Chains A and B, each alone.
Chain A
Amino acid sequence: MNPSPAADAKYEVSFTVNGDAKKVLVRPMERLLDVLRNELALTGTKEGCGEGECGSCSILLDGMLVNSCLVPVGQASGASIVTIEGMSAHALMKPLQEAFLECGGAQCGICTPGMILAAVHLLEKEPAPALADIREGLAGNLCRCTGYMQIFEAVARAARRRVAK
Chain B
Amino acid sequence: MPRKEGWDKVTGAARYVDDMVLPDMLYGATVRSNVARGKIGKISFDPSVAWDEFVVVTAKDIPGKNCIALILDDQPCLAAETVNHPEEPILLLAHADRHKLRKAVDAVSIEFEPLPSVYTIEESEQQSAIIWGTDNTFKSYLVEKGDVDSVWNEAAHIVEGEYFTGAQEQLYIENNGIIAAFDPENGVTVWGSLQCPYYVHKALMALCGFPEEKIRVVQMETGGAFGGKEEYPSMIAGHAALLSIKSGRPVKIVYDRMEDMVATTKRHPSRTRHRTAVSKDGKILGGEIEFTIDGGAYATLSSVVLSRGTIHAGGPYYWPSVRIRTKALATNTPPHGAFRGFGAPQSLFAMERHMDSIAQVVGISPVEIRRRNFLEPGQTTTTEQVIREEINLNHLLDRALGLSGYDEKRSRFAEENKKRVRKKGIGIAAFLHGAGFTGSGERYLNSLVGVEAVVDGHVRVLVSSAEFGQGTNTVLCQIAAETLGLPYESVTIAQPDTKVVPNSGPTVASRTAMIVGALVQSAAKGIKLTLTKTGLLREDYTPEQFRAACREYIAARGALKSYVRYEAPSDVYWDDEKYRGEAYAAFAWAVNIAEVTVDLTTYAVTVDDFVALQEVGKVLHPVLAGGQITGGVAQAIGFALYEKVVWQNGRMINNQMTNYIMPTSVDLPPIRVFFEELGNIHGAYGAKGIGELPMDGPAPAIVNAVEDAIGVRFRAIPLLPEDLFEALQPESNAQSIPSSAPGTA
Contacts and interface: CB of A to CB of B under 8 A. Distances in A.
Interface of A: 8, 27, 37, 43-51, 53-54, 56, 83-85, 88, 96-97, 100-104, 106-113, 116, 134-136, 138-139, 141-152
Contacts of A134: 665
Given A138-B665, A139-B666, A108 B174 contact: yes
A114 to B, nearest CB: 9
B665 A148 contact: yes
A145 B627 contact: yes
Interface residues of B, number: 57
Interface string B1-14: 01101111111111
A147 B634 contact: yes
Interface of B: 2-3, 5-16, 18-19, 99, 170-175, 221-226, 256-258, 468-471, 623-624, 626-627, 630-635, 656-658, 662-666, 668, 670-671
Q: Which 5 A-B pairs have the closest CB atoms?
A: A44-B12, A110-B223, A109-B9, A147-B634, A108-B469
Given A101-B2, A142-B173, A145-B627, 15 more contacts: A43-B12, A43-B16, A43-B18, A45-B12, A46-B173, A47-B18, A88-B11, A96-B10, A97-B10, A108-B174, A108-B222, A109-B9, A139-B666, A147-B635, A148-B630
Nearest to A118: B665
Contact of A111 (B15, B173, B226): B173
Given A43-B19, A116-B10, A149-B670, A110 B658 contact: no
Contacts of A136: 665-666
A150 B627 contact: yes
Contact of B11 (A97, A108, A138, A141): A97
Contact of B7 (A45, A101, A138, A149): A101
17 contacts: A44-B13, A51-B257, A51-B656, A53-B657, A54-B173, A83-B12, A84-B12, A101-B7, A135-B666, A139-B665, A142-B173, A143-B665, A144-B224, A145-B224, A147-B632, A147-B633, A148-B630
Contacts of B662: 142, 144
A141 to B, nearest CB: 7
Nearest to A105: B10
Contacts of A149: 630, 668, 670-671
A46 B61 CA distance: 34
A139 B664 CA distance: 6
Contacts of A85: 12
B675 to A, nearest CB: 15
B221 A109 contact: yes
Contact of A144 (B9, B15, B631): B631
Contacts of B634: 146-148
A55 B272 CA distance: 38
A49 B10 contact: no
Contacts of A37: 18-19
A27 B222 CA distance: 30
A51 B657 CA distance: 8
A113 B226 CA distance: 21
B199 to A, nearest CB: 19
Contacts of B18: 37, 43, 46-47
Nearest to B9: A109
Contacts of A151: 665
A44 B657 CA distance: 21
A150 B622 CA distance: 12
Contacts of B8: 109
B3 A108 contact: no
Contacts of A112: 9-10, 12
A97 B471 CA distance: 17
B173 A108 contact: yes
Given A101-B7, A109-B223, A142 B671 contact: no
A112 B14 CA distance: 10
A83 B99 CA distance: 25
Contacts of A103: 623
Given A49-B656, A97-B11, A103-B623, A144 B665 contact: no
Contacts of B226: 144
Given A103-B623, A106-B6, A138-B665, A144 B671 contact: no
A116 B162 CA distance: 45
A108 to B, nearest CB: 3
Given A8-B99, A109-B221, A139-B664, A104 B10 contact: no
B671 A48 contact: no
A67 B658 CA distance: 14
A150 B624 CA distance: 10
Contact of B671 (A27, A53, A54, A147): A147
Contact of A107 (B175, B627, B657, B668): B627
Indicate the member of A37, A101, A136 with the most B CB atoms within 10 Å. A101
A116 B656 CA distance: 24
Contact of B174 (A43, A84, A110): A110
B10 to A, nearest CB: 4
Given A97-B11, A108-B174, A145-B469, A150 B257 contact: no
Nearest to B261: A49
Contacts of B627: 104, 107, 145-147, 150
Nearest to B254: A47
Indicate the member of A46, A111, A134 with the most B CB atoms within 10 Å. A46
Contacts of B656: 49, 51, 53
A100 B469 CA distance: 13
